[in-house]
Copies of this chain bind each other. A is one copy, B any other.
Amino acid sequence: MIGSGAEYEERAEAVGRLLAGEGVSVVTGGLGEVMAAAARGAKRAGGATVGILPGESRAAANEWLDHVVVTGIGLARNLAVVASGDAVIAVGGRYGTLAEIGLALTLGRPVVVLEPGWEVEGTLRASTPDEAVELALAAVHTS
């Protein structure tokens, strides 16, 4: 799950909880806001979580991660975040999220944008967390 923006945390937490309910691991960038919210939602529902950090130490990791990957490569870790998922769900997000959407589509990963969010041709659009998870799972099963 990718994205950013404090105002989207509730939706991100719902996405994390729903993914965990489907037995799917939740991979994020490992920091705060929607990344922490998605991991929290997944952990509280008994799911597995991985955070892929930009820096050289795990100090910035949120507290809801089973595994912390410390990449040391800054923004280039965005590539690892989207490449590690079978599908990508975008919740909110600024320019970093746009970059991740572009990278995910370059790699052929299905991308679901939970509206409101970036409008990019080739992404699937969802209006609720339930619909986002449903579309992501369906995209993985048919790809």
Q: How large is the interface on A (under 10, 10 to 19, 20 to 34, 35 or more residues)?
A: 35 or more
Measured CB to CB, the closest approach of chain B to A104, in angstroms, equals 8
List residues of chain B with CB within 8 A of the CB of A56.
Answer: 74-75, 83, 107
Closest to A97 in B: B102
A52 within 8 A of B: yes
**Contact stretch, chosen from A31-39, A62-70, A126-134:** A62-70
Cβ of A80 and Cβ of B69 under 8 Å apart?
A: yes
List residues of chain B with CB within 8 A of the CB of A6.
Answer: none
A124 within 8 A of B: no
Cβ of A74 and Cβ of B75 under 8 Å apart?
A: no
Cβ of A68 and Cβ of B83 under 8 Å apart?
A: no
Decide: A71 near B67, CB < 8 A? Known: A95-B106, A107-B56: no
Interface residues of A (CB under 8 A from B): 25, 27, 48, 50, 52, 56-58, 66-76, 78-80, 83-84, 94-103, 105-107, 120, 122
Jot down 7 A-B pairs with beta carbons below 8 A, ordered by A. A69-B80, A71-B83, A74-B79, A96-B103, A97-B102, A100-B102, A101-B102
